[in-house]
Amino acid sequence: MDEDRRKFLDELLSTATPSGYETAGQRVWIDYVESYADEVRVDDYGNAVAVLKGSGDAEVALAGHGDEIGFIVRDVTDDGFLRIDRIGGSDSTVSRGQHVTVHTDNDPIDGVVGQTAIHLRNGEDDDVPGINEQHVDIGAEDGDEAEELVSRGDPITFEQTISELQNGYLSARGMDNRIGIWAAAEGLRRAAETGTDATVYAVSTVQEEVGVQGAKMVGFDLDPDAAIAVDVTHATDQPDSPGKRSSGVALGDGPVIARGSANHPALVDAVRDTAESEDIDVQLQATGNRTGTDADAFYTSRGGIPSLNVGLPNRYMHTPVEVIDPADLEAVADLLAGFAAQADALAPFSVDL
């Protein structure tokens, strides 16, 4: 990954975007992609769409979601501690003892999620309390001081650290799904460089983590001929992955093309053919019921939009230490650009009956 692309990824990863509070991250994304797009537009909820206009008939959307999981201030105790709740699928087993940032209307406030010291706990105290039983300590003396600093409804995220591991692997909070909007923007940029007859929409949706809400809005508004939703998917190549949940997906083995449920068979074939013609290694994944991504919203929009979920292998999803291989991410962007270049010739995407 070259310096400009890595800078863009780091800026996305360093900007907090919990669901419902995505504005700052959407601005970072727009500032990058607008240099390569013919037009960028934003709807009332903050879904961002960059348009690369083609001369052909086909219109394709390359999408990721710009929001991340987090927490929210539910209440303030008389002692000055913050009671919290989830934003999205936050994991109670990894939250205690972590540094966090409370994103207030004014300045961000540092805090920690309290964890009783092991010396003071009985054995029966080792059960993990739910998020709504945990608290954030911002160092306030009492509730009055705390309420001068924060408000109920302020979002909270883990303090960000981006680490480079061995073999170039990257670890950070919120790979889910900064990688998706990075790939969508890069897919459009690379398509602009190589040329495409199809009109290409790069999309950064909001509120995926709370029910694929932004994709419902965008799918209805754009109504493209095809939509590819890029998101992380579980890499099960680490020791704690349960055998019964193994998928065969591994870091470094390339993008993951999902099959089943929302994933339109003609679009699956088209993207697999693109991978072969572009000499991009891909992995396959079974999604018998649902993908758990924006593809689930796109494919039922309007009269049905041929949709596909392309995944990026990711270890430790929904934790502060998600791990990816940037080589997989580069390959996703190349795959999107290659598909966009051929999309006008491949369309329409429909089942053959």
Annotated catalytic residue 3: no
Residue 143 CA: distances (Å) to CA of 79, 115, 147, 148, 155: 5, 20, 6, 9, 18
* Residue 65 among known ligand-binding residues: yes
The answer to whether 235 touches 69, Cβ cutoff 8 Å, is: no
* Residue 209 among known ligand-binding residues: yes
- The catalytically annotated residue of 22, 68, 186, 208 is 208
Tell me the C-alpha distance between 117 and 94, whole Å: 15
The answer to whether 146 touches 138, Cβ cutoff 8 Å, is: yes
Residue 14 CA: distances (Å) to CA of 35, 71, 228, 231: 21, 17, 25, 18
Helix then strand then coil, in percent of the chain rounded to 5, is 35, 25, 40
* Residue 231 among known ligand-binding residues: yes
Tell me the C-alpha distance between 334 and 262, whole Å: 23
Q: How many CB atoms lie within 10 A of CB 273?
A: 14
Q: What is the DSSP letter of 133?
A: G
Q: Across-strand partners of 111?
A: 100
The answer to whether 87 touches 69, Cβ cutoff 8 Å, is: yes
* Residue 135 among known ligand-binding residues: no
The answer to whether 48 touches 201, Cβ cutoff 8 Å, is: no
Amino acid in position 56: G
The 3-state secondary structure of 224-285 reads CCEEEEEEEEECCCCCCCCHHHCCCCCCCCCCEEEEECCECHHHHHHHHHHHHHCCCCCEEE
* Residue 176 among known ligand-binding residues: yes
Q: Which residues are annotated as a binding site?
A: 65, 176, 209, 231, 318
Q: Supply the residues annotated as catalytic.
A: 208
Q: Which residues are annotated as a binding site for Zn(2+)?
A: 65, 176, 209, 231, 318
